[in-house]
Amino acid sequence: MALRLYNTLSRKKEIFKPLKDKKVGMYSCGPTVYHYTHIGNLRTFVFNDILRRTLKYLGFELKHVMNITDVGHLTSDADEGEDKMLLGAKREKKTVWDIAKYYTDAFMKDIELLNIETPEIIPKATDHIKEMIDIIKLIEKNGYAYVAGGNVYFDSSKFKSYIDLAKLNLEELEKHSRVEKDKNKKNHSDFVLWFTKSKFEDQEMKWDSPWGTGYPGWHIECSAMSSKYLGEQFDIHTGGIDLIPVHHTNEIAQSETAYGKSPWVKYWLHGEFIILGKDKMSKSKGDFLRLQSLIDKGYKPIVYRYFCLTANYRQQLHFSYEALDAARNAYEGLRSRVLELRKDDKKKDSDVEAKTKHETEFIDAVQDDINMPRALAVVFAVLKDDAISNKDKLGLLYDFDKVLGLGFEDFKEDKVVVSKEVKVLIEKREKARKLKDWASADKIRDEIKKLGYNIKDTQQGVKVEKI
Ligand SMILES: [Zn+2]
């Protein structure tokens, strides 16, 4: 079977076939670095990571680009609202450049904690102003741009495929739009490519351009940077589903009119939201949870990665601490099984057929639009299968982990430091067990549990785990 991916363009699962042999060019919209990234956004980056790991696992040669937006993104994805970077700078009384650096570092730390691999290329928007100006010039030369009120606009009415990706109904959109009309725009869905007339007097980031000193619209950076590193046409573009109707629609319009090639990108993949209560998580509502918020509550960051794997990336995932606890239990269960398997050195042969069956099922799962719940089910099936030796079980799990990224090979015993009180109780319990006084031993175990520790009797002796 071949890799099948759900393409937003066709609203269907399609067999994945790169433009060039086994070489894959992939672009992911990265973070806007004006604030910490919330766990809802981090889910999208876990999804990107699973996709990139899957492609490599299946033998594709990958070049993955993820941008850092440090200019131009307004609080609305369309051209309305405040400048996000300026908003961060005002809030924290720092320069926009300091804000960008601080939150880029924070983001990179988060993705590292989630065991997300670093994309091959991570370009910053502010380092690519020249490329943005060049592509705007092409769009203008080809007749799809106009200047009004000092800004350069994209004329969406001239690009007939404008509605394709998001299946837009432009008349309906205009009717229901609540934002005040920009008088310079010829059509409701036109958007800014270059601003020279800033609404923000204290705009710090400005560059010279053929249209005057100013700064780029948000969407142009992705068209400019993706094509700089991946060519005028490439294989995969990813992002959160909220980017479909404006940002990605505008990216396609810009790139196809600049380069005259269609489709600009062959496969568009979008990750669903994390739902908190009834709403999607967003920064603007001030209800956002960071990865650090979970760490502060005692969760290992990798537990959040495991939680993300429990649902397909195209399904909404409901976040609650109960659900996160369930993920933690499952993850810790897996961890202790892997640690146990490592200790076993008994020689036993595996049933080759059984082993191959699990391998095939895992590959089928990842090839089925990177279906992680199915892939995890294979992991548990392997652990349960008596026809496979412990050594081979480990081998399979380590291999599967190239996609899952849960760090099976790096699992270590947690060093548990217990208080003197707990130590004394453990010794007391051991004495009771030697005397076969099971009632007392159980009572002491409950006491230890109340103090926050689980006691397990293993062949190697008593094991203490923090609850
Ligand atoms: Zn983008």
More confident residue, 59 or 422: 59
Neighbours of ion ligand 1 (CB under 5 A): 29, 222
Ligand 1 centre from 193 Cα, in Å? 14
Ligand 1 centre from 11 Cα, in Å? 20
Per-residue pLDDT tens digits for 112-167: 999 999 999 999 999 999 999 999 999 999 999 999 988 999 999 999 989 889 88
- Which residue in 198, 222, 212 sits closest to 77, CA to CA? 222
**H or E segment and range at residue 269:** strand 265-271
- Which residue in 170, 193, 164 sits closest to 263, CA to CA? 164
Q: Is the dihedral of CA 399, 400, 402, 405 positive or negative?
A: negative
Q: Tell me the mean pLDDT in the region 248-270.
A: 97
Ligand 1 centre from 239 Cα, in Å? 7
Ligand 1 centre from 398 Cα, in Å? 34
CB contact set of 301 (below 8 Å; sequence gap of 6+): 110, 113, 114, 291, 294, 295
316 C-beta neighbours (distance < 10 Å), count: 12
Per-residue pLDDT tens digits for 210-235: 999 989 998 999 999 999 999 999 99
Instruction: Name the packing angle between helices 39-57 and 390-404 (round to 10°).
Output: 120
Look-up: residue for tokens 């001030």? 286
Ligand 1 centre from 79 Cα, in Å? 15
Ligand 1 centre from 132 Cα, in Å? 13
- Which residue in 49, 159, 27 sits closest to 111, CA to CA? 49
Ligand 1 centre from 220 Cα, in Å? 8
Instruction: State residue 425's pLDDT score.
Output: 92
Q: How is residue 328 written in tokens?
A: 């933690």
Instruction: State residue 440's pLDDT score.
Output: 92
CA distance 307 to 81: 34
Ligand 1 centre from 119 Cα, in Å? 15
Ligand 1 centre from 237 Cα, in Å? 9
Residue 417 CA to its chain's centroid (Å): 34
Give residue 130's identity as a one-letter amino acid code.
Answer: K
Ligand 1 centre from 247 Cα, in Å? 6
Ligand 1 centre from 21 Cα, in Å? 26
Ligand 1 centre from 313 Cα, in Å? 19
Instruction: State residue 279's pLDDT score.
Output: 61
Ligand 1 centre from 246 Cα, in Å? 10
Q: What residues are paired with 194 via a beta bridge?
A: 152, 216
Q: What is the CATH number of domain 314-410?
A: 1.20.120.1910
Per-residue pLDDT tens digits for 345-376: 777 888 999 999 999 999 999 999 999 999 99
Ligand 1 centre from 153 Cα, in Å? 18
CA distance 239 to 65: 12
Lowest mean pLDDT among 201-215, 324-338, 359-373: 201-215
Ligand 1 centre from 70 Cα, in Å? 12
The angle formed by the CA atoms of residues 336, 274 and 189, to the nearest 5 degrees, is 150
CA distance 325 to 404: 19
Ligand 1 centre from 112 Cα, in Å? 21
CA distance 194 to 120: 28
Ligand 1 centre from 222 Cα, in Å? 5
Instruction: Spell out the domain ranges in the chain.
Output: 16-271, 314-410, 420-466
Label residue 137 exposed, middle or buried (CB < 10 Å: 0-12, 13-18, 19+): middle
Count of alpha carbons within 13 angstroms of residue 342, beta-carbon side: 14
Ligand 1 centre from 266 Cα, in Å? 16
Ligand 1 centre from 28 Cα, in Å? 7
CB contact set of 147 (below 8 Å; sequence gap of 6+): 153, 211
Per-residue pLDDT tens digits for 296-322: 999 999 999 999 999 999 999 999 999
Ligand 1 centre from 251 Cα, in Å? 7
pTM value is 0.86
Q: What is the CATH number of domain 16-271?
A: 3.40.50.620
Ligand 1 centre from 248 Cα, in Å? 7
Ligand 1 centre from 230 Cα, in Å? 14
Q: Tell me the mean pLDDT in the region 34-47.
A: 93
Strands (E), 349-460: 453-458
Q: Tell me the mean pLDDT in the region 203-213.
A: 87
